[in-house]
């Protein structure tokens, strides 16, 4: 993200669920999104009760779980990706349960060895995961935290103190893929967050196309787009999935980079 800031470009962070639409496609999809202009990849860890996700990502989790994809498989996808891409940051997004089952320190060591750069754990607020965050930082990994429209100033200060890498601002109340973004409201909230948080701010939830991505880019350092990519993949034959992901991400990148 520091390199992005220096380049004065808006970061593009596409999200897919690992193992969806099939495990064999995860690593090729990751490479395709980088080729399309992604700056950071967000890889979802399949979980049976993804409480922050809307129906699109819930279905993606269900499909991946039917293939038996778990946290260790996700780390293996990252390791395989790293064989030919040593530089594009990869952030895992998921829930505490799979990490707790593996063991926090075991997970941290395995994530570092695989080439993970950071994690967003939805149900690890900063005040409840001090040991985890410290362990992550000791291995050079970034604990990344969420802020929402309802976040208090106290919570913003906690995230400012504990977070690394970037701050993920959830632009909508509710679940991923829902509703329409109020750009003026997002702008106001981000301005308030920046009073305390010196990290780059990425905005996700509700970004559907180049137009909304470009609007968000006027106030954020990066945009996260997930549900729309998964919707595209849901309706695409597997043999066209890589091309579809590349083209979709390239379209968002072009919108972000278009002259004002």
The residues annotated as belonging to the active site are 42, 53
**What DSSP designation does 69 have?**
-
Q: Within 10 Å of residue 100's Cβ, how many Cβ atoms?
A: 12
Say how far residue 31 (Cα) sits from the centre of its chain.
Answer: 16
Q: Which helix (H) or strand (E) holds 57?
A: helix 55-66
Are 135 and 110 spatial neighbours (Cβ–Cβ below 8 Å)?
no
DSSP assignment of 76-121? HHHHHHHTT-SSS-EEEEE-HHHHHHH-HHHHHHHHHHHT--EEEE
Cis bond upstream, residue 215 (ω within 30): no
Tally the C-alpha atoms within 13 A of residue 153's C-alpha that lie toward its C-beta. Answer: 4
């Amino acid at each position: 993200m520091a390199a992005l800031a220096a380049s004065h470009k808006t970061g593009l962070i596409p999200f897919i669920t690992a193992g969806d639409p099939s495990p064999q496609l995860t690593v090729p999809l990751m490479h395709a999104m980088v080729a399309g202009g992604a700056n950071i990849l967000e890889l979802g860890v399949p979980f049976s009760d993804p409480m922050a996700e809307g129906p699109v990502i819930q279905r993606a989790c269900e499909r991946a779980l039917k293939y038996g994809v778990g946290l260790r498989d996700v780390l293996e996808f990252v390791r395989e990706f790293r064989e030919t891409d040593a530089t594009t940051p990869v952030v895992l997004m998921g829930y505490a349960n799979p990490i707790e089952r593996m063991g926090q320190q075991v997970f941290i060591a395995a994530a570092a060895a695989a080439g993970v750069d950071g994690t967003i754990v939805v149900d690890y607020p900063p005040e409840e995961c001090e040991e985890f965050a410290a362990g992550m930082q000791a291995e050079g990994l970034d604990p990344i935290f969420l802020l929402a429209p309802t976040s208090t100033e106290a919570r913003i200060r906690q995230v400012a103190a504990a977070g690394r890498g970037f701050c993920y601002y959830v632009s909508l109340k509710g679940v991923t893929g829902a509703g329409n973004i109020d750009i003026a409201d997002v702008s106001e909230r981000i301005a308030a967050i920046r009073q305390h948080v010196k990290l780059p701010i990425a905005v996700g939830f509700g970004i559907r196309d180049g137009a909304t991505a470009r609007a968000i880019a006027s106030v954020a350092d990066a945009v996260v787009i997930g549900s729309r990519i998964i919707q595209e993949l849901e309706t695409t034959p597997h043999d066209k999935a890589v091309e579809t992901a590349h083209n979709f991400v390239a379209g968002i990148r072009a919108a972000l980079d278009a002259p004002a």
